Amino acid sequence: MSPRLEPAAKVAPALREALERLAHEHCALVFDFDGTLAAITSRPAAAELDAPTRAALRLLTPRYPCALLSGRARRDVARRVRGIGFRAVIGSHGLDDGRRAPDPAVRKWVRRLRSRLAGLGGVQVEDKRYSLSVHFRAAQRPALARRRALEAIARLDGAHVVAGKRVLNVLPRQRRDKADALRELLEGWQIQRALFIGDDATDEAAFAVRGVLGIRVGRSLRGSAARFVVARSDVRGLIDLLVELRSAASMPATARARRPSPVDRGEHVLDFLRQLWAVDHALQRRSKQMLRERGVTGPQRLALRLLLLEPGISAGELAGAMHVHPSTLTGVLERLERRRLVRRRARPGDLRSVELHATPAGAAIVRETRGTVEDAVRRSLARHTQRELDVARDVLRELEQELLGE
Ligand SMILES: [Mg+2]
């Protein structure tokens, strides 16, 4: 008999069943940050993902569309999860999705609260632009500090308080909350089912969103709209389990070749297409960033790299290797020649034919890989098995041929 494997997480059978159903569905996974993915610390600035959680999330994000929905400022939390592959990061309890302008009143409130609470040791007023937080995690007298803060907040015009764990969140009244942001996110992604995991009072509205399976991180479900509760220490195991269930769900599904319903197929087409455009956009953006920082674009660097691999090939051969039209390559080569990164030479014995070579300066640019498109691709590929990469490449190649009408 083969030895039994340890279960990935201490998960109640009913929760495991619900997650298994989700793993077979087109669904999104949405996470809160503090107290859910990261432990609460005495200084908010110190809250970070531990390495095992980061590694587990990196396996999760290629398998499900994942988003982060946090009370922190969007930039702050985005920095903490950089490189993991979240498709969306929404901050300030749903107010800051990167498209909306902040309420100018918040800045005034920050100034006023800082001056009124200045004498209280260990209290911190955090300006999140779209909202603010008064933190008591390190307060010397938390109860007194909280009372004073509530008194001061009551005098702010148009402010609304949501109490959290050792924190008071102050948001503009008639605000959007996490539920509004979650609904909008799912609508934009055209997804009807989602898992939302959070630990705090500000997460409650999102647990109640239609189509959402709510999991509360904590000790009990008392007073919560969530369906399940897990301990903070089991969150990473839960992520591992989601990865495991998704992998198990997709493999037999291929073998059985279950035909998706027309509705499913429509969703998948749109979702895939959106992802392709998102990749196209990200490629252009990284390429422009490379031009600013290193003086070459993504395609220019790719041309140099191919010339180093095959010195002396012709412009036509290079265009073929790069899958671009020769006229597109002409512009790329002209710019590289002007900067003396590439030179042309008549092919020995055939004066009509010209061969291309990268110069030593061109070779130096190729050696520097940090921040390049190639570097991003390499890191992304390293997270997958050879089998997964083969499937992805086949899908992209087939799509290319369909588009070309071959
Ligand atoms: Mg939280």
For residue range 230-270, what is the model confidence (pLDDT) as tens digits?
999 999 999 999 999 998 886 443 343 444 555 555 667 88
What average pLDDT does the segment 311-328 reach?
88
How far away, in angstroms, is 230 Cα from ligand 1 center?
14
How many whole angstroms separate alpha carbon 180 and alpha carbon 187? 11
| pLDDT on residue 251 | 47
Would residue 166 be called left, alpha or beta, if left means φ above 0 and alpha means ψ between -120 and 50 degrees?
left
How far away, in angstroms, is 43 Cα from ligand 1 center?
14
How far away, in angstroms, is 70 Cα from ligand 1 center?
7
Is the CB of residue 236 less than 8 Å from the CB of residue 56? Answer: yes
State the residue for tokens 């003086």.
295
3-state helix, strand and coil shares in percent for the chain, rounded to the nearest 5: 50, 15, 35
Is the CB of residue 166 less than 8 Å from the CB of residue 142? Answer: yes
Q: Which residue from 71, 103, 44, 102 is spatially nearest to 205, judged by alpha carbons?
A: 71
How far away, in angstroms, is 14 Cα from ligand 1 center?
24
How far away, in angstroms, is 346 Cα from ligand 1 center?
66
What average pLDDT does the segment 377-404 reach?
85
Phi, psi of 240 (to 5 degrees): -55, -45
How far away, in angstroms, is 300 Cα from ligand 1 center?
45
How far away, in angstroms, is 228 Cα from ligand 1 center?
16
How far away, in angstroms, is 31 Cα from ligand 1 center?
9
How far away, in angstroms, is 124 Cα from ligand 1 center?
17
How far, CA to CA in Å, does 126 sit from each of 110, 163, 172, 350? Answer: 8, 15, 15, 71
Q: Which residues, in sequence order, are bridge partners of residue 342?
A: 358
How far away, in angstroms, is 203 Cα from ligand 1 center?
7
How far away, in angstroms, is 69 Cα from ligand 1 center?
9
Strands 88-90 and 66-69: parallel
Which residues touch 403 (CB under 8 Å, ≥6 apart)? none
How far away, in angstroms, is 140 Cα from ligand 1 center?
22
Tokens of 134: 């008064």
How far away, in angstroms, is 202 Cα from ligand 1 center?
8
pLDDT exceeds 90 at position 5: no
Q: Tell me the pLDDT tens digit for each residue of 122-157.
A: 899 999 888 999 998 888 888 888 999 999 999 999
Strands 167-172 and 132-135: antiparallel
Residue type, 43: R
Strands 193-198 and 212-217: parallel
| pLDDT on residue 393 | 87
**Span of 25-39, 90-104, 178-192 with lowest mean pLDDT:** 90-104
How many whole angstroms separate alpha carbon 169 and alpha carbon 70? 12
Q: What are the chain's domains?
A: 13-95+176-254 (3.40.50.1000), 105-172 (3.30.70.1020), 265-404 (1.10.10.10)
Exposure string of 64-98, with b = 16+ CB inside 10 Å and e = fewer, is bbbbbbbbbbbebbbebbeebbbbbbbbbbbbbbe
Exposure string of 301-324, with b = 16+ CB inside 10 Å and e = fewer, is bbbbbbbeeeeebebeebbebbee
pTM score, whole prediction: 0.58
Widest pairwise Cα distance in the chain: 90
How far away, in angstroms, is 94 Cα from ligand 1 center?
13
| pLDDT on residue 380 | 87
Q: Tell me the pLDDT tens digit for each residue of 165-191.
A: 788 999 988 667 899 999 999 999 999
Tokens of 345: 């030479």
Half-sphere exposure of 340 (CA within 13 A, CB side): 2
How far away, in angstroms, is 92 Cα from ligand 1 center?
11
How far away, in angstroms, is 136 Cα from ligand 1 center?
15
Would the CA dihedral through 209, 210, 215, 216 be positive or negative?
positive
Tokens of 229: 């509760």
Mean pLDDT for the chain overall = 87
